[in-house]
Amino acid sequence: MVSMQPQDIIRINASSGPVHSGVISRVVERSGTDIRRCFHCQSCGGGCPVSQAMAYRPNGVIRLLQLGQVREALQSSDIWYCIGCNTCSMACPQAIDIAAFMDVMRQMAIEEGVPLAEPDILAFHREVVGSIHRYGRTHKLEIMMRYKLGQRDLFSDIDLGLRMLAKRKLDLLPSKISDQRAIKRIFETCGVKGNGRSR
Amino acid sequence: MAAAADAVEFSYFPGCSLATSAKENNRSLMKVCRKLGFKLVELEDWNCCGSSSTHSIHSDLAFHFACRNLSLAPAGRPLLVACPSCMLRLKQAQLHLQADPDARRRYERMWGRPVDTNLSIIHFFELLDNGFGAGSNPKLQAALKGLRFAPYYGCMLTRPPAMRHEKSYHGLLEKVLGSFGAEPIGWGHPSRCCGTFLSVAKPAVVTPMVNQIIQGAVDAKADCIITACAMCHLNLEIRCSLKTQLPIFHFSEILSIALGMGIKKSWLMRHLVDPLPLLKIKGFLEKAAGG
């Protein structure tokens, strides 16, 4: 059995810049779930429907934090591919709320300003949040069109979009709430702008 | 099958999908509820529940979105939710409010009134989880005869650890539709995630996921897939690239057939995978009401 020597850990840390001390407790506090309980049984990744698109898988992202490789974790594509389906949480013998952990990882990645692995997924999320800012609900057609415009990718789904329009799966006009002020107040209180970015 | 004389009232939260892209789900669900003696009163001026995108990047925003909806619910009337994802958001916000005094303070500051932490929030499935079925009525027992279906729950049955003690509806599709004569197939993907929002930004990731689910149902010789969630329904319809595609039905549409009310043409024309040939072969179409 190969045992890890202290100098190995130092080397791993050195490769990722300064160790972010206390990062794990910050993640635990924000997510409300104790990732320190993870003993790396890998049940999470085993059932994860998007694990094939991930580099580390959920327990691997937790491991990166434990090893002090915070940047690697925040820059991973894994945190963006997680769709929060909770399949992992059902399998986790330590009852870790992995979806909540991933929410916090995404939010920390944005706040820290690290290069993001999947900026297009973030762009989509921001379009959805922007739609709620405008209408209080999501307006799918506009979200899809604005997203595609932003990606300068107008044609990849155009036949699908037309089929959906023909079948009336996409409404031309949004479904709106009347108390727009209440929604604006929520955004204001949370420090989020109409484009889905933080103030 | 019990039909109540006096309608039981619920506040109803349809959510963005049922209000727009899945209107056929909304309409069939309302129709089924009416038939069963449940009166749904749409929650006035409801907003997005805070699902997927919002909680992915702004937890606080998602919490307050859910809270506004809870604050709109009139006291003494249970809140009925149609979408599994909305259900999870609203319920999680409520659990948070119950457990955390600071969350309650934030709620009260925002909405200027105390929280009703005892508000009963239930999913549509709950209405059917009391032994509901065809009963001993031979006509009802044969209503869906000949239909082999793949029961598809998506992530309706998966929950975060804080909700582990909540009721699970595993097997409900099979139990209910089975009593009406439909035949559930056993297969490996009843709870496999459909890919949800990645469908827009990462179709190349979602298509294989959807294909795997549909191929699973084809291999098990199902005639169709019956979904519990409107989002799943959409993804299964739009992201399948297989040669053989299966019709996908909302649970509520099939319930409408089972209860003798047929399936409306206006619902069927909103399906991207044409369900008409299957319904014709199975003889379910002549029962269809027009409109």
Within a domain: B57: yes
What are the tens digits of pLDDT across the range B121-171?
A: 999 999 999 999 999 999 999 999 999 999 999 999 999 999 999 999 999
Within a domain: B161: yes
pLDDT at A17 over 60: no
Composition of chain A by helix, strand, coil, percent to 5:
60, 0, 40
Contacts across the A-B interface (CB distance below 8 Å): 169
Instruction: Please classify residue A128 by burial: count the beta carbons closer than 10 Å to its beta carbon, then call 0-12 exposed, 13-18 middle and 19+ buried.
Output: buried
DSSP 3-state assignment of B40? Answer: strand
Sign of CA dihedral B63, B68, B72, B74: positive
User: What are the DSSP calls for B202-239, one per residue?
Assistant: -HHHHHHHHHHHHHHHHHTT-SEEEES-HHHHHHHHHS
- For residues B152 and B258, state if they share a domain: yes
Domain boundaries, chain A: 6-112, 119-190
- C-alpha B131/C-alpha B228 separation (Å) is 18
The residue among B124, B150, B178 that closes a domain is B124
- For residues B29 and B143, state if they share a domain: no
User: Which has the closest alpha carbon to B188: B230, B220, B156?
Assistant: B220
Instruction: Please classify residue B163 by burial: count the beta carbons closer than 10 Å to its beta carbon, then call 0-12 exposed, 13-18 middle and 19+ buried.
Output: middle
Q: Does A185 touch chain B (CB under 8 A)?
A: yes
The residue among B99, B124, B149 that closes a domain is B124
Residue A143: the pLDDT is: 96
The residue among B91, B124, B157 that closes a domain is B124
Contact A39, A26 (CB under 8 A): no
- For residues B91 and B151, state if they share a domain: no
Mean pLDDT rounded to a whole number for chain A: 91
Contact B58, A190 (CB under 8 A): yes
- For residues B142 and B81, state if they share a domain: no
pLDDT at B264 over 90: yes
Nearest to B47 among A136, A140, A192 (CB): A136
| CA-based nearest distance B105→chain A, Å | 14
CATH of the domain at B18: 1.20.1050.140
What are the tens digits of pLDDT across the range A42-96?
A: 999 999 999 999 999 999 999 999 999 999 999 999 999 999 999 999 999 999 9
Contact B87, B123 (CB under 8 A): yes
**Count of C-beta atoms within a 10 Å radius of residue A119:** 12
Q: Does B222 touch chain A (CB under 8 A)?
A: no
Helical ranges in chain B per DSSP H: 15-19, 23-35, 53-57, 59-72, 84-99, 101-111, 124-128, 138-141, 172-179, 198-201, 203-219, 230-238, 251-258, 265-268, 276-282
Residue B5: the pLDDT is: 55
Check B48 against A132: CB less than 8 A apart: yes
Nearest to B47 among A100, A169, A183 (CB): A183
B40's tokens: 């749904």
Within a domain: B232: yes
- Give the total residue count for chain B: 291
Nearest to A124 among B19, B162, B200 (CB): B200
Within a domain: B272: yes
CA distances from B50 to A133, A151, B54, B216 (A): 12, 24, 5, 32
| CA-based nearest distance A165→chain B, Å | 10
| CA-based nearest distance B127→chain A, Å | 24
Within a domain: B112: yes
- Reported confidence tier of residue A150, pLDDT bands at 50, 70, 90: very high
Q: Which residue has the higher pLDDT, B136 or B4?
A: B136
Which ipTM score applies to this complex? 0.94
Instruction: Please classify residue B6 by burial: count the beta carbons closer than 10 Å to its beta carbon, then call 0-12 exposed, 13-18 middle and 19+ buried.
Output: exposed
Residues 69-128 of A with CB under 8 A from B: 81, 83-87, 89-90, 92, 95-97, 99-100, 103-104, 106-107, 110, 118, 120-126, 128
| Least confident span in B4-8, B13-17, B142-146, B256-260 | B4-8
Within a domain: B3: no
Q: What is the CA radius of gyration of chain B?
A: 19
**Count of C-beta atoms within a 10 Å radius of residue A7:** 8
Q: Does A49 touch chain B (CB under 8 A)?
A: yes
Residue A15: the pLDDT is: 42
Count of structural domains, chain B: 2
Expressed as residue numbers, the domain containing B71 is: 8-124
- For residues B183 and B225, state if they share a domain: yes
Superfamily of domain A6-112: Alpha-helical ferredoxin (1.10.1060.10)
Q: Does A50 touch chain B (CB under 8 A)?
A: yes
CATH of the domain at B255: 3.40.50.11810
Within a domain: B35: yes
- For residues B20 and B82, state if they share a domain: yes
- For residues B111 and B156, state if they share a domain: no
What are the tens digits of pLDDT across the range A92-105?
A: 999 999 999 999 99
